[in-house]
């Protein structure tokens, strides 16, 4: 079985950020695009997390560990969905600038 055929179908979105640069099956453009998108997702996660913090604590607000885990999971998924759908446009701009630097234009 030829492993190279399987490896050539790797999607940039499936590669963890810390292994993206060393992946030999992706082009530089794919690496830059995915790194830009993941950076935007991380930034969105931070923005959404801060936006969800309550300013006034109440006896009716649930502050359990389960609620915290659920909130973190929904924020992460929401940030990923926003960044994959075009997001704030930061990933596109960052991608263009990094590509210019790569090609020397």
Per-residue confidence in pLDDT tens, the chain, 105 aa: 445 444 556 677 777 777 778 888 888 888 888 889 989 999 999 999 998 876 677 777 777 888 889 989 999 999 999 988 887 888 899 889 988 888 876
3-class secondary structure per residue, the chain:
CCHHHHHCCCCHHHCCHHHHCCCCCCCHHHHHHHHHHHHHHHHHHHHHHHHHCCCCCCCCCCCCHHHHHHHHHHHHHHHHHHHHCCCCCHHHHHHHHHHHHHHCC
Q: Supply the pLDDT for residue 8.
A: 53
Q: What pLDDT was estimated at residue 5? A: 47
Q: Cα separations (Å) of 91 from 1, 7, 61, 69, 79?
A: 37, 26, 35, 27, 13
Residue 41, pLDDT score: 92
Q: In residues, how long is the chain?
A: 105
pLDDT on residue 16:
75
CB-count exposure of residue 10 (10 Å: 0-12, 13-18, 19+): middle
pLDDT at 2: 47
């Amino acid at each position: 079985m030829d492993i190279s055929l399987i490896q050539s179908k790797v999607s940039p979105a499936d590669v963890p950020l810390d292994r993206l640069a060393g992946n030999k099956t992706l082009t530089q453009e794919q690496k830059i695009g995915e790194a830009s998108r993941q950076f935007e997702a991380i930034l969105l996660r931070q923005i959404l997390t801060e936006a969800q913090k309550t300013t006034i604590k109440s006896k009716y607000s649930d502050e359990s560990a389960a609620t915290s885990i659920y909130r973190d999971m929904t924020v992460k998924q929401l940030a990923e969905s926003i960044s994959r759908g075009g997001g704030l446009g930061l990933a596109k701009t960052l991608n263009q600038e990094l590509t210019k630097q790569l090609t020397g234009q």
